[in-house]
């Protein structure tokens, strides 16, 4: 099985003001003359991590990574003004134009797969290829699956769900996303942080194939927990700023783009049906369902993602 490429440091980091409010943190790694690729992180709100650089051969790729609005090192932190899917799509284009890149590979997982599809559909002439992991199509059932009482995830992780539920009084549990939003938008910093940590414990500990119900999750850093929880709830309560079935409906202009879809069979956050539905509507794409959960770090997912990026490098380099 393929493994991640060795650790690598950026050869350049810089910032891009995209409006009067937001300034993005951007980094470039690998070969400045290599095949350009843009990495779209998940969440929304999670930001990029050093291991995200390692899905690409640094000798053959010019790797562009950035923290989306309000996430990571982008400023202002956790700010949701002018923060919608269309704003993020425009930011990707602004980065491409700033770097004077004509076309590039687009790589995204989880929410990053949603954003990658939205970007490709808005600018179908720009992607050289798409590598999509942990598909999330933002349909109504997907929006409710993981966070609401009538979803199904609570049946899979009941111990963790009980803690997520306990943070909200019973009278408010008919709409968990709105209940969490009231706390995440509170004027009281302690209330905001407690809600963010409860939200992150539910999601962050549910990503891997091997699940420990008592593991605290991967959003223990309060700053990360706040940006992830606020951004996710903001987007969820607005249906990710997409029309129902928009990403499947508008596949026509992108079906010519070489695409790989990688999904864990036991992904509880984004169930595998979404990947199957996308592949059925996009028969030209290559679907790989592997023995894994949601996490991009699960070995079987790493294997397929690295194979996909290597194949695109073989094609274009």
The per-residue pLDDT for range 235-261, each reduced to its tens digit, is 999 999 999 899 999 999 999 999 999
Catalytic residue among 154, 263, 294, 303: 294
* Residues found in the chain: 317
Residue 216: pLDDT band with limits 50, 70, 90? low
Residue 218: pLDDT band with limits 50, 70, 90? low
Catalytic residue among 67, 267, 298, 303: 267
Report pLDDT for 75. Answer: 98
pLDDT tens per residue across span 154-170: 999 999 999 999 999 99
Catalytic residue among 74, 110, 113, 227: 110
Superfamily of domain 12-139+241-316: Alpha/Beta hydrolase fold, catalytic domain (3.40.50.1820)
- The pTM of the full predicted model, rounded to 2 decimals, is 0.97
pLDDT tens per residue across span 167-210: 999 999 999 999 999 999 999 999 999 999 999 999 887 888 88
pLDDT tens per residue across span 118-132: 999 999 999 999 999
110 labelled catalytic: yes
How far is residue 74's CA from residue 150's CA, in Å, rounded to a whole number?
A: 35
Residue 94: pLDDT band with limits 50, 70, 90? very high
Q: Would residue 104 be called left, alpha or beta, if left means φ above 0 and alpha means ψ between -120 and 50 degrees?
A: beta
Report pLDDT for 206. Answer: 85
Say which residues have a Cβ less than 8 Å from residue 47's Cβ, sequence separation at least 6. 41, 67, 68, 71, 72, 73, 74, 224, 227
In the chain, where the domains are located = 12-139+241-316, 141-239
267 labelled catalytic: yes
């Amino acid at each position: 099985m393929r493994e991640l490429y060795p650790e690598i440091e950026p050869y350049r980091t810089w910032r891009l003001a995209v409006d009067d409010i937001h300034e993005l943190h951007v980094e470039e790694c690998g070969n400045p003359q290599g095949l350009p690729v843009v990495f779209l992180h998940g969440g929304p709100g999670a930001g990029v991590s050093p291991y995200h650089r390692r899905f690409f051969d640094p000798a053959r790729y010019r790797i562009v990574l950035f923290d989306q609005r309000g996430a990571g090192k982008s400023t202002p932190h956790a700010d949701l003004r002018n923060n919608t899917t269309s704003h993020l799509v425009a930011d990707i284009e602004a980065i491409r134009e700033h770097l004077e890149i004509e076309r590039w590979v687009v790589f995204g997982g989880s929410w990053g797969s949603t954003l990658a599809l939205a970007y490709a559909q808005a600018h179908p002439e720009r992607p050289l290829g798409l590598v999509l992991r942990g598909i999330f199509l933002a349909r109504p059932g997907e929006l409710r699956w993981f966070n609401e009482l009538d979803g199904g995830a609570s049946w899979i992780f009941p111990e963790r769900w009980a803690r997520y539920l306990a943070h909200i009084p019973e009278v408010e549990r008919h709409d968990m996303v709105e209940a969490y939003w009231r706390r995440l938008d509170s004027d009281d910093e302690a209330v905001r942080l407690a809600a963010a940590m409860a939200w992150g414990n539910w999601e962050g500990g549910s990503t891997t194939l091997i699940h420990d119900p008592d593991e605290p999750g991967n959003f223990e850093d309060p700053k990360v927990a706040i940006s992830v929880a606020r951004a996710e709830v903001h987007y969820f309560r607005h249906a990710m700023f997409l029309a129902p079935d928009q990403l499947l409906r508008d596949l026509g202009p992108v079906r010519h783009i070489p695409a790989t879809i990688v999904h864990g069979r036991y992904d509880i956050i984004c169930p595998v049906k979404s990947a199957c539905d996308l592949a059925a509507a996009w028969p030209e794409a290559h679907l790989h369902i592997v023995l894994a959960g949601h996490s991009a770090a699960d070995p079987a997912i790493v294997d397929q993602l690295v194979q996909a990026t290597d194949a695109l490098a073989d094609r274009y380099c």
